Amino acid sequence: MTILITVPELWEDIKASIFLSVHGKYRHANALLRRWLETFITALYFDSELKKYDQSTKKNKSFIKKRGEWFEDPNRQHFTGNGGILHKLIDQDTDNNATQILKKTTSHNRPSSFRKYVEDIFKKLSKYVHYDGNPLSEDKLTCDFVKYDEKLFEEWYDILNQINEICNILTLLKFPEITGSDSDVDVVNAIVERCEREDKKLNEVVDELIRKGLERE
């Protein structure tokens, strides 16, 4: 599966984002969150499409080719907008189901559209990649830049948890067999429970990495 191929890279991005946030580098930390969101959703899109077609079909081979092109150059795939990966993965049914599930999870947001919710988070994170028109690589590590800012840290922390929740909801909606449930109601309940467990696990990882980071200070 495409997701499994990308997991090592995604996990490194998550850990790096946590490390950077602990040291006050919120712009870099948020840029990595955007890459996590974009990479995961694109990988999930390819997996969800590939499972629809037999391996011997032209459609399957076409998606495998597109996936290979994406591995070589992630920018070749449009992520947002009509015809983008996000709109293709979160179709109307997925949007409706995910919106209802989000209302039952630990999220403090209650959007009217799950797809718009994801788009808004992506757009918010994009400003950290193109801050004031300057690419991220031009940022200078000044003393002011590495100051701890409680508000910025909490904003980063909220988005971290939101992306984790988004990834879990979409994965289980596209691959409900993972839940081991038979009925739609059981699947929804399983997704809600999974989101709560994964949220707790991620927070434990964050707390542990923060503790280790502070010990090195």
Mean pLDDT computed over 172-193: 78
Neighbour-count burial of 157, counting CB atoms closer than 10 A to its CB (0-12 exposed, 13-18 middle, 19+ buried): middle
Mean pLDDT computed over 184-206: 78
Longest dimension (CA), the chain: 58
Residue with tokens 């193109």: 130
Q: What is the pLDDT of residues 14-67, one digit of tens each?
A: 999 998 998 889 999 999 999 999 999 999 999 999 998 888 899 989 999 999
pLDDT at position 109: 66
Is the per-residue pLDDT at 92 higher than 70? yes
Mean pLDDT computed over 168-192: 80
Q: How far apart are CA 101 and CA 172, in angstroms?
A: 11
pLDDT at position 183: 64
Of the candidates 81, 93, 109, 88, the residue with the CA atom closest to the CA atom of residue 166: 109
Strands 130-131 and 134-135: antiparallel
